[in-house]
Chain A
Amino acid sequence: MFPGSEYNTEVWSHFRAPRNSGVFPADASGVVAGAAGARKHGRAVEFQLQVNAAGTVVDCRYRVFGCPATIALCSMASEALKGGPLCDAARYSVVQLADRLGLVAEKRAAAIVVEDAIRAAVRRYNNNSPPQLAVVKFTMES
């Protein structure tokens, strides 16, 4: 655990140096995006997936406003999704990741927001929508 916090060293490492953060260039191909949460609720996430013709997530980017757990979960999820099939991204459980990391119950809301943003992006791809943000309204504050 990081001294004085409920975060373990893995969470701490991703919070200190988030992997794959940022956004793809506007002209990048195969990019779909989803968003969830709201600043006024304490966390907001925009997640981008770059998917190739074979349906593989070749890369990810995200922007995140939130607590250390929200930032770390974005970073860890982006690592997990890269290189995998898009159908896995649709099923990927950030909540289970949070549980595995031993995050306290109050941080479950952070995992749900990250998960919702990823699933919104996957839906955007499946609906064959233009690469704009699909916004998921986040209403549950656990």
Chain B
Amino acid sequence: MKQETIYLDYAATTPVDPRVAEKMACCLTCEGTFANPASAHAPGRKARGAVERARSQVAALVGAEPGEIVFTSGATESDNLAIKGAAHFYSDKGRHLITSRIEHKAVLDTCKQLERDGFEVTWLKPDADGLIQPSVVEQALRPDTVLVSIMHVNNEIGTVNDIAGIGRVTRERGVLLHVDAAQSAGKVPIDLKTLCVDLMSFSGHKLYGPKGIGALYVRREPRVQLDPLMHGGGHEHGMRSGTLATHQIVGMGEAFELARQELPQEAKKLNALREKLWRGLHAAVPQALLNGHPTQRVCGILNVAFPGIEGESLLFACGAIAVSSGSACTSADQQPSFVLRALGRDDQLAGSSIRFSIGRFTTDDEVEAAVRVVGQEYHRLLDLAPAG
């Protein structure tokens, strides 16, 4: 990227791929596909065609049927729709939900709201590597459990949960499984034809698409039903009313299409860059600790604890690199990451942890420069600090 700052925060958001932006630009002005996709006239039908093509592109990346994809405003809305929608629709069957303590806030806060609404939630603790094991889910299931919500890839530490194993457990017991796949789609192969997943959330902007668009996979066979969050024109099979944002949807579709075509070689490249980054950091700072499972992890995310120094200082000292302490969605509150605390890191280690996330436009030179800056600033701050 032609910027002074080295952008290593792809897990927070990605730039829109120029090929995506080009497609989106065709849906905005008089000459383009700007009409309301719900309109019956020719421009409307043309817009609807663009939307349906995008729906197929999103479905193709994850092995779903196009009719199983519901467009939303983003993964946060998808999580809300999946969890609240299923909990309320199936509340006659039971009012117990299961999730983990290291989910994204969009899941945590949605479940907390359901607790206030009278549902009961079991909060699973991850193991020391940051994983939720299928056996732990199985032990928490109850006769009145209606939904389990477990993320595919953790947004802070990048560990990959065994959703195939978790799905087998929930399907056998007739319990719905929702998976937040905002960080995994396009980075980890997903085949919903073989996975026992009933609901899956996706984001456009984590995969070189635009912000403000996401999708929810809603399984049709066996059929899953949801109470909608929004009421209006009955769009998206009644599950998400509101005029479809053609340009956003087209952008997300193109982004998912590109990811499908480029996933194998891109994952290989990102794995190599991530390993180079970790080897470099560990050589520059031998005290550095890797947060999360050493191998069961997504290609683009590396979370490292830097003992002996204060986290905010390291983050600001490394101002030439755009990284996050914890996830961008939580770093605003200046508290040590709840994910790292759940893994057993103390406040100081959690506070001095940095998430590096690399992506499509990251170069070898950028990784090398990041290692240099972090190593140099770490030792500067360590030299400043009193003993102990």
Chain A contact residues, CB within 8 Å of chain B: 2, 5, 7, 15-16, 18, 21, 35, 39-40, 42-46, 63-68, 70-71, 106
Q: Tell me the bound Cα distance from A39 to B334 in angstroms.
A: 16
Docked-complex contact B386 and A71, CB < 8 angstroms: no
Chain B contact residues, CB within 8 Å of chain A: 309-310, 312-313, 316-317, 319, 334, 347-348, 351, 384-388
Closest to A7 in B: B316
Q: Tell me the bound Cα distance from A68 to B386 in angstroms.
A: 15
Residues of B within 8 A of A46 (CB): 386
Q: Tell me the bound Cα distance from A46 to B384 in angstroms.
A: 10
Docked-complex contact B316 and A65, CB < 8 angstroms: no
Closest 8 CB pairs of A and B: A63-B386, A65-B385, A67-B312, A46-B386, A68-B316, A66-B310, A68-B313, A21-B384
Docked-complex contact B351 and A42, CB < 8 angstroms: yes
Residues of B within 8 A of A15 (CB): 313, 316-317
Docked-complex contact B384 and A18, CB < 8 angstroms: yes
Docked-complex contact B348 and A39, CB < 8 angstroms: yes
Q: Tell me the bound Cα distance from A21 to B386 in angstroms.
A: 11
Q: Tell me the bound Cα distance from A66 to B313 in angstroms.
A: 7
Also in contact, A67 and B310, with CB within 8 A (given A39-B348, A42-B351): yes
Residues of B within 8 A of A66 (CB): 310, 313
Docked-complex contact A64 and B384, CB < 8 angstroms: yes
Also in contact, A65 and B386, with CB within 8 A (given A39-B348, A40-B348, A42-B351): yes
Docked-complex contact A40 and B347, CB < 8 angstroms: yes
Residues of B within 8 A of A5 (CB): 316
Docked-complex contact B316 and A42, CB < 8 angstroms: no
Q: Tell me the bound Cα distance from A13 to B316 in angstroms.
A: 12
Also in contact, A71 and B384, with CB within 8 A (given A15-B313, A43-B310, A65-B310): yes
Residue of B312, B317, B319, B386 touching A35 (CB-CB under 8 A): B386
Q: Tell me the bound Cα distance from A2 to B316 in angstroms.
A: 10
Docked-complex contact B348 and A64, CB < 8 angstroms: no
Closest to B334 in A: A106
Docked-complex contact B384 and A63, CB < 8 angstroms: yes
Would you mind naming 7 contact pairs between A and B with Cβ atoms under 8 Å apart? Answer: A5-B316, A44-B385, A64-B384, A64-B386, A65-B386, A67-B310, A67-B312
Q: Give the shortest distance, in Å, between A71 (CB) and chain B (any CB).
A: 6
Residues of B within 8 A of A18 (CB): 384
Also in contact, A71 and B313, with CB within 8 A (given A64-B385, A64-B386): yes
Q: Give the shortest distance, in Å, between B110 (CB) and chain A (any CB).
A: 29
Q: Give the shortest distance, in Å, between A101 (CB) and chain B (any CB).
A: 15
